[in-house]
Amino acid sequence: MRIDILSVVPRLLDSWFGESILQRAQQKGLAEVVVHDLRAYSTDKHKRVDDYAFGGGAGMVMQIEPIDRCISALKAERAYDEVIYMSPDGERLDQPLANRLSTVNNLIILCGHYKGVDERVREHLVTREVSIGDYVLSGGELAAAVLSDSLIRLLPGVLNDETSALSDSFQDGLVAPPVYTRPAEYKGWKVPDVLLSGHEARIEAWRHEQALVRTRERRPDLPGAASETFGEG
Ligand code: ADE
């Protein structure tokens, strides 16, 4: 998968993609993330990429031309499955959306700033708008990093344990069950006996039951909360 991120503050994204799982995914050739500085596509002598809003009002608006020039240059190189604009009023990112988007080959992600982008960008250049939640960030970069991370970790071979993305919270409509590691007892606080029993089927049943209890308590809105009683799944 290749992800091209368009930003007016590309430095914000460098450290994120240069570390840990995301860096390894790129080193293994499983994912490629390329961050583009929109100012490089400005024809203005001061490299401006924003201007006052027509009709007045506070706040600057990102101009269409640098964005269009950058997207056109990328599209001349390869076909893109989606051009995504990160926006608080977009479709809410959840695990099913991440699963779907993780199967595409090439994505462009546009990060907004200031008062947002000229509406014609949304009408003519963008194919999808995604929000990471009902709150407003100062720019789309964090949101683009969240979306990219949620996709890249799903690519086969990115996580060491192939099954671990499948057992994440939300993958089966349930939140994840609790996990423990050594020591088996700390300050008198004990790990549940069943996990030390070595009995695989009982451990699996316990984990499923815990996931169900937690989902009903914490996230009754998830589809898994309504699933059948313990021990059947
Ligand atoms: N840009 C600013 N806030 C955002 C949000 N909540 N989701 C996506 N992009 C954003």
Q: What does the pLDDT look like over 73-100, one tens digit per residue? A: 999 999 999 999 999 999 999 999 999 9
pLDDT grade, residue 164 (50/70/90)?
confident
In percent, the amount of the chain with pLDDT more than 70 equals 97
> Ligand 1: which atom is nearest the Cα of residue 135?
6
CA–CA gap between residue 65 and residue 79 (Å, rounded)? 20
Helix runs in the chain, H state only:
11-17, 20-27, 64-75, 95-101, 119-124, 141-152, 193-196, 200-218
Taking only the tens place, the pLDDT of each residue in 167-206 is 788 888 999 999 999 999 999 999 999 999 999 999 999 9
CA distances from 224 to 90, 92, 126, 211, 214 (A): 25, 19, 33, 9, 10
In this model, does residue 52 exceed pLDDT 50? yes
pLDDT at 162: 58
Which has the minimum average pLDDT: 126-130, 142-146, 203-207, 227-231? 227-231
pLDDT grade, residue 233 (50/70/90)?
very low
Q: CB 99: neighbour CB atoms within 10 A?
A: 15
Q: What is the pTM of this model?
A: 0.91
Please tell me the distance between residue 23's alpha carbon and the centre of ligand 1 in angstroms: 24
The token duo for 24 is 């390894």
| Most informative mutation of 142, 148, 149, 150 for ligand 1 (most atoms within 8 A of CB) | 142
The residue whose CA has the least distance to atom 10 of ligand 1 is 87
Q: Which domains does the chain have, with CATH numbers?
A: 2-152 (3.40.1280.10), 169-226 (1.10.1270.20)
Please tell me the distance between residue 100's alpha carbon and the centre of ligand 1 in angstroms: 20
CA distances from 102 to 10, 106, 147, 150, 156 (A): 23, 10, 10, 8, 10
Q: What is the mean pLDDT of residues 16-32?
A: 89
Q: Which residues line ligand 1 (CB under 6 A)?
A: 86-88, 112, 131-133, 135-137, 140, 143
> Ligand 1: which atom is nearest the Cα of residue 134?
6
| Most informative mutation of 91, 137, 149 for ligand 1 (most atoms within 8 A of CB) | 137
Note the residue count of the chain: 233
The residue whose CA has the least distance to atom 6 of ligand 1 is 88
In percent, the amount of the chain with pLDDT more than 90 equals 85
pLDDT at 16: 85
